[in-house]
Structure 1
Amino acid sequence: MRLRALLDTDALGLRLLGGEDELDRSVRGVMTTDLRDPSRYLSGGELVLTGLAWRHSAEDSEPFVRILASAGVAGLAAGEAEQGDIPADLVEACVRNRLPLFAVSEDVAFATITEYVVRQVSGERAGDLAAVVDRHRRLMTSGPAGGGPDVVLDLLTTDLDLHAWVLSPTGRQIAGAGAELDPATSALLAGEHLAATRTGRRGPHRVTLKGTTYSLFPIRNNGRGTAVAAARDVRETVLSDWLLAVEADAGDWPAARLDLLQGVTQLIAVERDRRDAARTVRRRLAQEVLELVQTGAAPAEIAARLRVAAPVLLPGLGSAPHWQVVVAKVEWSQDGGNGSADLDAGPVAQSLLEEILVESDRIAVAHAGDEAIALVPLPSVPSSGEDGVESPAPGLHADALLTAVRDPLSAGLADDGRLTLGVSASVHSAEGLRGALEEARHARRVAAARPGRVCAAGHHELASHVLLLPFVPDDVRRAFTARLLDPLRDYDRRHRAELIPTLEAFLDCDGSWTRCAARLHLHVNTLRYRVGRIEQLTGRDLSRLEDKLDFFLALRMS
């Protein structure tokens, strides 16, 4: 804004005392001070408001005005509330230094002037920024991405002093300007946003955490990069939409600034659509592999399909990996409103599972009916031992997945939704994928039997006594057996070490070292070495009754 605009506003009651030729100066901000030397707080372009408490004699005016002029301030407004008429020595000093001077009536508070200037300056800056955002949107929609959401958020910070972050439904920070939010705050903001969205309230939603107010703007995932009306049922999108968290209270923002932030969310939605499009090929390949696994295709056919898909699913992996399978299911109660029976839960679960597993790059997620299924490759890691046996990299753990997403997603599921997850053990070939899929599904059913809106279970919870239950599928039993015994069989095949016969004899002798060594015609130290190798390869402890029972059942079912 220009200084001249201050005289055109009757509500401010300002009188010009000098500097009529300088009224076209731009005002970039406002500052109130009664310091003798406020230069350290000035950056240029300010309208300085003062109550003249710094002036004790006529000699004080010249130094004060020189400091302001040297700092490049736009003008000076002096209040009449304390000293009455503005001193002539101050007027003369301003004329000499070509600094516009205004008198502020005692009936007008400095806060009124400050509010007016800030509102005008912010509105103009927002308008300039809106034009930048619009140009950026056109660049992103017509050509290569222009830097992604971070560029736009940086504009908000530099031009409007707004700190903002783009968050996923689980609270994962996707983009941000300035310091990162701590994970706990991000999760709380995501949960508050999901809870507010489920109530049907229009955004932005406001929330205060630890004394800081945030305004939460929804970023709709609609496939076109522009915000549209809400879906026929909010539950179709609530678990997949991003949000824009702004560290400010938008409750008293002018319409122009709110429109600007809506434009920013539309621009970020374009980037969201780009990322979703990049997943299309992965989803299709995962769907093809899943259909082969579920229809009982030969392992060789599945392996051939995986080799074809390897450049997309496994970029940069030089060897065939181990695999894990994760199954997710989102269920809504029938009385949740708006015809929940018509909800297509499969795509919702698919999008959500991609978000939950986003840290595990190279994942591919498909959906079958109302459940989503993820194929997670685990690169092989060479053993540090002399035998050179490769083992899978550390895999996903159900408890870790649950901890990361439980609180925010529970808010989005509210009182009528549930998310259940099942995680398989790792398998070393396509031959084991069917068993891994059934194992993950069975683990998910174990999770579904627990209370809570978000539950998960892993293969480690399918204990041996559970496998004795009649409803456990044969594929799950076979997967359990393979997981426990295949490392030993592979080792025996490579080294002729006879670990399987040693294990059978050890269990048959009730864990007696002397009797087992005598039966196998081995020295006790050799037996101890073999049992130690069995424990190392399987991660079990043959001194524990539970592990002995697991081995016993695995051998009987093999």
Structure 2
Amino acid sequence: MKLRALLTLPDSRLELVTGRDGLDRPVRWVVTTDLPQPGRYLRGGELVLSGLMWRSGPADSEAFVEELAKAGVSALAGGLARGALPDDLVAACRRHRMPLFSVPEDVAFATVTEEVVRHLSGARDLTAVLDRHRRLVAGAGEGAGLGAVLDLVTRDVGLRCWVLTPTGRVVAGPEPPPAGGELAHAFLTAPRLPHPHDGVTIFPVAAETVPRAADWFLAFEGDARDWPPEHRALAAELAAIVALERARLDDRLSVEGRLAQELVRLVVSAAGAGEIASRLALAGLDAGASFTAVAASGRPPLRPAEVRAVLGEAIPVPRPVVGLLEEEVIALVPVPETEKDVADRIQAALAALAPGFTDGGLAVGVSDVVAAGELRGAVEEARFARRLAAQRADPVCVVRHDELATHVLLLASVPDDVRDMFRVRLLDPLRTYDEVHNADLVRTLETFLQNSGSWTRCAERLHLHVNSVRYRIQRIEELTGRDLSRLEDRVDFFLALRLG
């Protein structure tokens, strides 16, 4: 069928917004998606239906339409719960010569799909295909959740499947659940996906659009290498449905999400204790409890919304309040009285995700445990610790509150050029000497300081005679003009080594 035929469908009632000169384009199939980058699931000639859940600003409209144009899509049909289609989406469609239709708010995408497919196919099994598609859409969009979709896949195709998060939490799937932690580790560390592992095959949900540490994944029973092509196509279709459901479940626009955002902003703006206590109660938290503040930011390509998702998933205690301040994510974490070291648990949970950041990374600061009335100071402490973490190159770097009371805090406040000059002046003569003479002076110096200047313990650690250690220390002093019997010179060398 051609695009102009869409304007005659009685139940769909589509209206052309722009692209009249493209109405003779053929329509090969119809696809519903709210993925921000759906190109990998498209083959060309599709009518794409979208509820615009991927859009947060004009730049998103440009990127989405450009992706459709590159994939050879015939047209886009958009629908919103209320209001007209955004002007920036219309402009992007005009720039890329992409015909755009408007779907009335009282018309379901399933209705449009059924009418288009009825025109496209006269196959005898059309009723079964439409029924299956309708049940998939209903399962993902009407509150039945992913469980209904996975049950349908098991019943119709015979494939058991689970949806999991990168921490190993099972989102949906049949009983009994698999070993989530083991599968999550396999998902994060697999050299490529899909990946067979211990009787299941792991598929990404968002594929290459987000880092694995911020993605969900599918675990299908069996080895996908033995599947027929239609089963692989089913896996791709199911991944798209899971991505849509995950976006629908995003709490940023929910009442709880808005309350969390407002609470974080109140804390940062130094609101009164009474106002903060009332907002904590609205968020379902006890104002008499203790809290830890966590601040996090991502290195590109990790985006703030993905950092928020990672932090909300990784914090191993219930009901954290998570908000976004520009590019920084702030979490207020209630700490149970029985919790000994919540910072240690957060650090361990995030460290487990490190293999999933092949590009970019995560910088995290964790405050001390405080009362509700001290939350503003805790947030500032966490944000400063996060800035220290951002200076390090680790894929996931967590700086805890106790590091802020050490020399680390002083080093972080020194400009980079001063730090470099300080390190070079003290250590470069030793490194140059080591390269020429293979003398190991830098390691000797570090071991000497670690053992508080004890000749005997240093010699034992290095498996040297004490006289050899004395000779090396003397050579260090001659090359640098410093005296390692002086406390101030020992401190300078210690700091230079920490900077190096």
Q: Of the two, which has the highest radius of gyration? A: 1
